[in-house]
Amino acid sequence: MKKTKLELTWPGKDKRPQLEPRILLEHPERGHHAASRREGDLFDNMLIKGDNLLALKALEQDYAGKVKCIYIDPPFNTGAAFEHYDDGLEHSLWLSLMHERFAALRTLLSDDGYIFVHLDDNEAAYARVLMDEIFGRANYVATVTTTTNAPSGFKSLS
């Protein structure tokens, strides 16, 4: 009997465009490097401006399986419109965008690495199912919850 896995499906999930590897070009006037390198340094920090999926694909060539910690703060998909982007994507489009990025991040993450995803209740449960599919359900560690008491800001809960 063939084993099947539980997965989330949506219109367009299987219609992901194939991206070609990209090259990151440094802008010397805007870059900042340490004055000196220490033994064992692997690289300087990078600030990459541009489409994040294309940047992730460009990083694969040099960093696949080497990244120890990833923190992402994707759109919450609240339906709000902000000055620099619309946070109200159709749900299946949001799922497709996140699936592509989680898959690219999985390629970069080392086997002993961690990924932290900052979301609110709008899409957190769906992101968890996507991540279970891509990273493996057994690799889930915990959900950290914070609450905001406006106007004083974030308060940690135990």
pLDDT tens digits for range 7-21: 888 888 888 777 766
Q: What is the pLDDT of residue 1?
A: 55
* 48: in domain: no
Report if residue 105 sits inside a domain: yes
* pLDDT band of 31, cuts 50, 70, 90: low
Decide if 149 is inside a domain.
yes
Residue 147 lies in a domain: yes
Beta strands in the chain (DSSP E): 67-72, 80-81, 86-87, 109-117, 146-149, 153-156
Question: pTM of the entire structure?
Answer: 0.77
Q: How far apart are the first and last CA of the chain?
A: 45
* Range of the structural domain that residue 118 is part of: 67-156
Strand partners, 147: 155
| Distance of alpha carbon 129 from alpha carbon 89, whole angstroms | 19
Measured in residues, the chain has a length of 158
How far is 154 from 119, CA to CA, in rounded Å?
14
Asked if residue 144 belongs to a domain, the reply is yes
pLDDT-derived band at 111, boundaries 50, 70, 90: very high
**For residue 35, is pLDDT > 80?**
no
Domain assignment of residue 61, yes or no: no
For residue 95, give Cα distances in angstroms to 14, 26, 58: 12, 31, 22
Contact 80, 88 (CB under 8 A): yes
Q: Which burial class, exposed, middle or buried, applies to 128 when counting CB atoms under 10 A from its CB (0-12, 13-18, 19+)?
A: middle
Q: Give the pLDDT of residue 127.
A: 96
Domain-located, residue 22 = no
Number of domains observed in the structure of the chain = 1
SS3 of residue 103 by DSSP: helix
30 to each of 27, 42, 57, how far by Cα in Å?
Answer: 6, 21, 22
List the single range of 41-45, 79-83, 121-125 with lowest mean pLDDT: 41-45
- Pick the most confident of 49-53, 88-92, 108-112: 108-112
Residue 33 lies in a domain: no
